[in-house]
C-alpha cells in the first residue's frame, strides 16, 4: 500500500515538473537566433487578434499563454508599429507592447504603377492599414457624390460625373500615419497627382484640345500594354493615330481589364465580349481609366512619338515589344512570337 502511495506521489511530482517545464517553455523565445522584425498593432484590435498575429509572424509560441498573461496582470496593449525580435520571450514582448514603445508614428507605403483601386485596397489591407472595402468603396464613389473631408481638386473638373478616382490615385511611395484613414491616404495621392501634372503638361493637353480625363484614360491603357518609357511613347503614337483615323484601339489591356486575366493572345471570342471597355468592339477610348498610371505613361500620353508603326505585340519570352507597319507584317510577327 505504501509503495502504491509512493508511486502515485512520484507520478504527481513528475506530472507537475513536466507541466511546469511545459508552461515555462511557452514563454521561451521562438528562435534564439532570430532577427528583429516590424510588428503592427492596429487601433481597435482585440487581444486575441494581436496574439493570433504574433503567432502567425512566428513571434510567440502560444496564443493562450500570451492572452493569459495580459488578463492576469490586467494590461493594455497600445496601437502602433513595434520592432520585435524572435529572440525575445513572450513576457518581454508583452512588456514592449504594453509600454507603447512604438517604432514610429509613421510608416511607408508603396503604390505600384498599373495598380487599380482594388489592388491598392488589397495592398492596404494586407499591410494592416485599413480594410480594402473601405478604401475601394470611397475611391470608386462617383465624384458627383463627393464624400471627402477635403475640397474637390480642379483637375477632376473635366471628368464625367459618374466616374470614380480610378486613374488619379498617383503611384508613389508615401509616408502615412499608422492610424491613417482612407480619406487621408486618398488626399495624399490626389495631392501628389496635382503636383505631378505640372502647368506645362496641362497647357500642352489644352493645346491639343484634349482633357486630363482623356489623357489619364489613354495613359492607363499604355501603362498596361508596355513597360519601357520609349515603348510607351511609340505605343501612344500608335493609339492616338488610330483614334485620329477613327480606328479601334484593339488594346489587349482593355480585354484583360474586362476578363480579369492576362493572355499572350486573346481569342476571337474574347474580342467580341460586350463591354464598353472592349476596344476591339468599340472605337475610341474606353469609358474611363483601367488602372492608375505612373508619370512615364502620363507623359507618353501627352507627348506621343511620331511613328510610322501601326501595330505592335509583346514577345512573351522576353517582354520585348515587336513593331510592324503593315497588317501582313504584324500577322507574321504574331505567328513567329505568339504561336
Is 185 within 8 Å of 135 (Cβ atoms)?
yes
Per-position pLDDT tens, the chain of length 339: 666 666 666 667 766 666 565 666 777 888 878 888 888 888 889 999 999 999 998 899 888 989 999 898 888 988 888 888 888 898 888 988 888 767 666 788 999 999 999 999 999 999 889 999 999 999 999 999 998 999 999 999 999 999 999 999 999 999 898 778 999 999 999 999 999 999 999 999 999 999 999 999 999 999 999 999 999 999 999 999 999 999 999 999 999 999 988 888 888 899 999 999 999 999 999 999 999 999 999 999 999 999 999 888 888 888 888 888 988 998 898 888 887
Domains present along the chain, CATH in parentheses:
28-104 (3.30.1490.480), 106-196 (no CATH), 222-338 (no CATH)
Amino acid at each position: 500500500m505504501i509503495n502504491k502511495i509512493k508511486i502515485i506521489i512520484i507520478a504527481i511530482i513528475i506530472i507537475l515538473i513536466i507541466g511546469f517545464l511545459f508552461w515555462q517553455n511557452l514563454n521561451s523565445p521562438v528562435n534564439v537566433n532570430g532577427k528583429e522584425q516590424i510588428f503592427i498593432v492596429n487601433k481597435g484590435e482585440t487581444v486575441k487578434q494581436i496574439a493570433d498575429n504574433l503567432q502567425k509572424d512566428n513571434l510567440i509560441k502560444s496564443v493562450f499563454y500570451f492572452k493569459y498573461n495580459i488578463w492576469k496582470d490586467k494590461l493594455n496593449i497600445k496601437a502602433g508599429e513595434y520592432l520585435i525580435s524572435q529572440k525575445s520571450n513572450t513576457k518581454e514582448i508583452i512588456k514592449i507592447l504594453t509600454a507603447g514603445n512604438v517604432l514610429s508614428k509613421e510608416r511607408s507605403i508603396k503604390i505600384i504603377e498599373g495598380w487599380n483601386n482594388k489592388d491598392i485596397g488589397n495592398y492596404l489591407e494586407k499591410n494592416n492599414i485599413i480594410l480594402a472595402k473601405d478604401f475601394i468603396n470611397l475611391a470608386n464613389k462617383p465624384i458627383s457624390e463627393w464624400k471627402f473631408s477635403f475640397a474637390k481638386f480642379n483637375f477632376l473638373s473635366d471628368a464625367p460625373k459618374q466616374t470614380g478616382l480610378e486613374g488619379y490615385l498617383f503611384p508613389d511611395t508615401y509616408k502615412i500615419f499608422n492610424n491613417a484613414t482612407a480619406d487621408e491616404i486618398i488626399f495624399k495621392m490626389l495631392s501628389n497627382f496635382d503636383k505631378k501634372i505640372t502647368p506645362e503638361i496641362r497647357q500642352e493637353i489644352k493645346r491639343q484640345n484634349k482633357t486630363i480625363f482623356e489623357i489619364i484614360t489613354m495613359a492607363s491603357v499604355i501603362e498596361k500594354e508596355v513597360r519601357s518609357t520609349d515603348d510607351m511613347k511609340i505605343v501612344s503614337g500608335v493609339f492616338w493615330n488610330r483614334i485620329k483615323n477613327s480606328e479601334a484601339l484593339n488594346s489587349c489591356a482593355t480585354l484583360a481589364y474586362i476578363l480579369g486575366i492576362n493572355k499572350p493572345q486573346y481569342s476571337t471570342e474574347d474580342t467580341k465580349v460586350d463591354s464598353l471597355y472592349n476596344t476591339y468592339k468599340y472605337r475610341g477610348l474606353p469609358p474611363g481609366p483601367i488602372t492608375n498610371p505612373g508619370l512615364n505613361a502620363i507623359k507618353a500620353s501627352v507627348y506621343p512619338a511620331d511613328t510610322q508603326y501601326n501595330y505592335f505585340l509583346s514577345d512573351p519570352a522576353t517582354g520585348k515589344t515587336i513593331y510592324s507597319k503593315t497588317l501582313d507584317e504584324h500577322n507574321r510577327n504574331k505567328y513567329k512570337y505568339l504561336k
